[in-house]
Structure 1
Amino acid sequence: MKLHSAKELTLILYQQRCFFRSLKAKSSRLSLTTTYDIIKPEPVYYKTSRSVPKDIPRPNHIYGLENDYQNRSLIKSPWQLEGVRMACQKARNVIDTVAEYIKVGTTTDTLDKYVHETCIALRCYPAPLKYDGFPKSCCTSVNNIVVHGIPDSRALKINDILKIDVSVYYNGFFGDVSETFIVGSELEDNHDQDAHYLVNHARRCRDLAVAVCRPKQRLSMIGQVCEEYVKKHGLTIVKPACGHGIGEQLHEPPQILHYLDLNDEQMKLEMCEGMILAIEPVVCEGTGEVELCEDDIQVKTVDHSRCAQFEHTVAITADGHEILTEGKSSIEMANNQQKRIIVTGGTGLVGSAIRQVVEAEKGKYQNEQYFFISSSECDLRNRDQTVALFQKYKPTHVIHLAALVGGLFRNLGRNLDFFRDNMQMNDNVLSIAHEFGVTKVISCLSTCIFPDNTTYPIDETMVHKGPPHDSNFGYSYAKRMIDVMNRGYSVQHGRKYTSVIPTNVFGPNDNYNIEDGHVLPGLIHKCYLAKKNNTPLIIWGSGKPLRQFIYSLDLAKLYLWVLRDYDSIEPIILSVGEEDEVSIRQAADAIVKAMDFKGEVTVSFLISIFQNDRGFTV
């Protein structure tokens, strides 16, 4: 972490006074039930510094040597990159180790002890130790302490927001990483939603900043995405807290602002292969105004609001970036963060199945909270209503099932409507999800998106290799465009939005309308009417086309697997094996048997516009 010096900080706060004055008028998002300790650092609690074996190399600042900060090259050689990579792996190992000891009642001085001992075991020097007078081996900033928190004898309490910044010096190079933890988050009585809100968005802010890192991208884009994201979620960026280059010195150029300032010359620089950047936005739930503590080391918020920070050290590569500090705790924390999942089309066939499966899991995934949305609650074709929906539920994940759907006859007469309505829904959901920083969107496609004339077996790579069947081209193209948009959000914004292609689904809460329904519910309804009215059961077509069917509850389990474990943007087919294909006639016979229908079954050839053996059918 590179924070401006006291002189620089005072100047910046003065220069930004109008900005801070306007922000003070904004109400904090703290709920009335949120309580936490305001940390008031008292140097008397600091214990003595720890010693480092003499055979472990020291960085220059230990010897009082001046760091040639401004004269370091922005571009690192391959051997320098490897040196930083190894140091970053050491830093990651340290923070993963200390994370195991974070619990209610532990002191930050004890955590510092574990950091120090782990550094020594890894043969690296804890870089904060004696850096500009810092007395400890890591920074532990709690609640309203923004950065440079000095470990002390205060015991951690439930709901404390603890920021740990670990920097190490190893074989001539530095590694730098930080994480934020909610103390006691695993306990049942931890209900501080504001803490989870702040921490989750701080992590996402860091991830978005990393995602835009690639050659020819301006450094200012890092600040732009950070500031836009936190502002949208009612939070603020702590402006004096900057990122930095890193290498043979802990703090090297370029200085990285986590907000947009086009007047800063360094922000006009373009990233290029060989740069190594420490990206570490500090996100605040208050005004973001900060001041130095009396010890001239620690920094606190003026309004006592809490902050969260996540840091990655990132190398710019020829085709993007490499996260040098990726590791166990960052992955586990992302997996364990509180997930707020909205399911559009939540009362339909698949949505109701997902609800049933989630309820059957009986709290197995306690970090997941689901909201099942019906069309009566929100018309997703209306952008304002969709924005209001996202503002209400603040989702981190979206399962997008909602669609204008129908059978053959309805598609034939309304192809334009099917295209326009579905495009509006899909564009609204994906664009607003992006604006709200949603981590993952899983959209539902359809097997009808595949080309009419194709070879078998089909796979996900064949989606765009020819036009779909004429009978439902509007719906098919609208669904295809989801895949196009997913790829666009990935390339341009680093999003991981994906889609699934389920085979023919059946189950409870299906649409049994004969004209608008699909194969099995339509046949079930026809069989019911034939039995009730003592009339023949008529099957349109030859009865020979082959289908794959999947039960809605089985599909729901696969959707939850995609939500939790599938990370590719490539669409994935969710289906049974080809050996389980059945003909329409076989499906009809199974229904006839299940419903104990004793009447006549007739196959009619009046409809002759069907697709090939595996295509669309009524």
Structure 2
Amino acid sequence: MSVVADAASGRETNQVSGESKCARDTCENPVSSLQCPTCLKYGKSSFFCSQDCFKRAWPTHKLIHKELAALQPHDPFPDYAYTGSVRPVYPLSPTRLIPANVPLPDHAKDGIPVAEQRIFRSTNVYINTPEEIQCLREACALGRKILDAAAAMVKPGITTDAIDELVHKMTVEAGAYPSPLNYYKFPKSLCTSVNEVVCHGIPDLRKLQDGDIVNLDISLYYKGHHADLNETYYVGKAKEDSDNVRLVETTREALDKAIAIVKPGMPFREIGNVIEKFAKENGCSTIRTYCGHGTNKLFHCPPNIPHYAKNKTPGVAKPGMTFTIEPMLALGTWKEKTWPDNWTSVTIDGKRSAQFEHMLLVTETGCEVLTARLPNSPGGPVARI
């Protein structure tokens, strides 16, 4: 490391770091080329005037190494028995900020969706007014736009945190709030679920690998109403694997078949019968832990929409209702478990899972897919191998 004289101060200044004095707090000597090797390993410059000064500084200087280590990409749960190949890569990026002009849902500040909790056990399904339906259409159109932009980023080498950054930026610039952010303390603005992750994956520093599949789950709060949609995408060569294609396309088609039966008078329990029958025919299991749900002024509300057969969900569809159908299928068992982050759900056998979600409006004659794909939406069906 070269050292040059600073003519203005008469002291030596390191050309790379710009530092002019020793890193030991009580030393005023000019800097030399001597660096702390541990700091250097972590990408930080810490210059000392001499070996002796470095030794004197060590008892206090070494304390910063733990902080530096925490900032390096690492697995936060190194002793956890993971079921598959995916690992979280921390540290998580700092919480992204919400501009003051963006209206907030009730969970934004303390993480608690109070209005949802008040009606949690209710079987009454809200009927939206024409004015509310128009707001929902606008929110869902914005959600589709943002999901498509996020999907366009999917490729080997991109981090899920980078996708989160784009989703957050687009959402708040549109005057909307990313619904997942701080919902029961969820730390990010979308869910990114890779391979064996069933749902609720937290965006982090892990880079997408050639051959992965990834689900991007977008939810936002716009003009007082929530939109909710997701799709699973192939990363690089993933579409060349027959099991990947069977899983992803079966899940996509299962959602389409369920949507096709939605109309006034349809029992909510019938949706699960359609989905699980098709899943079994294609060698896939249906995750039972999570279900579709009502979405309107509230992020999650009645009705619940289970995706498995022979469920006992009460109620029938009526015009003006809005809800999601979001089947999660797996190549192996339907059973899942949650990582120590208290969010990331994974299959217990480590086999891959896929999910697709649309938000629907029940009409007088059938249903309207509020989150429908556009002609230029990235992704889309792939021919089975």
TM-score, scaled relative to structure 2: 0.74
1:302 counterpart letter in structure 2: I
2:86 counterpart letter in structure 1: I
The answer to whether 1:251 aligns with 2:303 is: no
Structure 1 CA distance for aligned equivalents of residues 107 and 310 of structure 2: 31
Secondary structure at the residue paired with 1:166? strand
Equivalent of residue 114 in structure 2, options 66, 70, 75: 66
1:254 counterpart letter in structure 2: P
Pairwise CA distance, 1:313: 0.1
Task: Give the 5 Å matches for 1:90-489.
Answer: 90-185=142-237, 191-262=240-311, 264=312, 267-328=313-374, 333-334=379-380, 337-340=381-384
Pairwise CA distance, 1:303: 0.5
2:173 counterpart letter in structure 1: A
Task: Give the 5 Å matches for 1:594-605.
Answer: none
Structure 1 CA distance for aligned equivalents of residues 230 and 337 of structure 2: 21
Secondary structure at the residue paired with 1:57? coil
Pairwise CA distance, 1:268: 3.3
Structure 1 CA distance for aligned equivalents of residues 352 and 194 of structure 2: 8
1:39 counterpart letter in structure 2: V
The structure-2 alpha-carbon separation of the partners of 1:330 and 1:221, relative to structure 1 and needing over 3 Å to count, comes to: farther
User: Is the 2:269–2:314 contact (alpha carbons within 8 Å) kept by the matching residues of 1?
Assistant: yes
Residues 361-416 of structure 1 deviation map (CA, whole Å, 9 limit, x = unaligned): xxxxxxxx7xxxxxxxxxxxxxxxxxxxxxxxxxxxxxxxxxxxxxxxxxxxxxxx
**Which position in structure 2 is the counterpart of 1:23?**
none
Name which one, 1 or 2, has greater alpha-carbon Rg: 1
Structure 2 CA distance for aligned equivalents of residues 280 and 75 of structure 1: 21
Structure 2 CA distance for aligned equivalents of residues 250 and 328 of structure 1: 24
Structure 1 CA distance for aligned equivalents of residues 160 and 365 of structure 2: 40
Residues 262-315 of structure 1 deviation map (CA, whole Å, 9 limit, x = unaligned): 4x2xx2311111111111000111101101111111111110011110100000
Structure 2 CA distance for aligned equivalents of residues 160 and 86 of structure 1: 32
Pairwise CA distance, 1:330: 8.6
**Which position in structure 1 is the counterpart of 2:87?**
40
Higher share of residues assigned helix: 1
TM-score, scaled relative to structure 1: 0.46
Structure 1 CA distance for aligned equivalents of residues 138 and 308 of structure 2: 30
1:163 counterpart letter in structure 2: N
Pairwise CA distance, 1:74: 2.6
Pairwise CA distance, 1:199: 0.6
Structure 2 CA distance for aligned equivalents of residues 321 and 124 of structure 1: 26
User: Is the 1:124–1:169 contact (alpha carbons within 8 Å) kept by the matching residues of 2?
Assistant: yes
Percentage identity across paired residues of the two chains: 35
User: Is the 1:162–1:180 contact (alpha carbons within 8 Å) kept by the matching residues of 2?
Assistant: yes
2:321 counterpart letter in structure 1: M
Residues 118-157 of structure 1 deviation map (CA, whole Å, 9 limit, x = unaligned): 1122211111111111100000010111111000101101
User: Is the 2:194–2:215 contact (alpha carbons within 8 Å) kept by the matching residues of 1?
Assistant: yes
The structure-2 alpha-carbon separation of the partners of 1:331 and 1:218, relative to structure 1 and needing over 3 Å to count, comes to: farther
**Which position in structure 2 is the counterpart of 1:376?**
none
1:210 counterpart letter in structure 2: I
The answer to whether 1:80 aligns with 2:166 is: no
Structure 1 CA distance for aligned equivalents of residues 95 and 270 of structure 2: 39
**Which position in structure 1 is the counterpart of 2:65?**
none
Residues 142-189 of structure 1 deviation map (CA, whole Å, 9 limit, x = unaligned): 01111110001011011111001000000100000001001114xxx9
Task: Give the 5 Å matches for 1:544-583.
Answer: none
Secondary structure at the residue paired with 2:108? helix
Pairwise CA distance, 1:329: 7.3
The structure-2 alpha-carbon separation of the partners of 1:241 and 1:97, relative to structure 1 and needing over 3 Å to count, comes to: same
User: Is the 1:39–1:142 contact (alpha carbons within 8 Å) kept by the matching residues of 2?
Assistant: yes
Secondary structure at the residue paired with 1:228? helix
The structure-2 alpha-carbon separation of the partners of 1:331 and 1:221, relative to structure 1 and needing over 3 Å to count, comes to: farther
**Which position in structure 2 is the counterpart of 1:437?**
none
Q: CA RMSD in A?
A: 1.9
Residues 514-548 of structure 1 deviation map (CA, whole Å, 9 limit, x = unaligned): xxxxxxxxxxxxxxxxxxxxxxxxxxxxxxxxxxx
User: Is the 1:172–1:248 contact (alpha carbons within 8 Å) kept by the matching residues of 2?
Assistant: yes
**Which position in structure 2 is the counterpart of 1:440?**
none
Residues 14-58 of structure 1 deviation map (CA, whole Å, 9 limit, x = unaligned): xxxxxxxxxxxxxxxxxxxxxx9711335x332211001011001
Structure 1 CA distance for aligned equivalents of residues 378 and 267 of structure 2: 31
Structure 1 CA distance for aligned equivalents of residues 119 and 85 of structure 2: 35
Q: Note the residue ranges of structure 1 that are not aligned, 5 or more in a row.
A: 1-35, 341-368, 370-618
Aligned residues: 297
Secondary structure at the residue paired with 2:271? helix
Structure 2 CA distance for aligned equivalents of residues 160 and 45 of structure 1: 22
Structure 2 CA distance for aligned equivalents of residues 261 and 270 of structure 1: 15
User: Is the 2:88–2:206 contact (alpha carbons within 8 Å) kept by the matching residues of 1?
Assistant: no
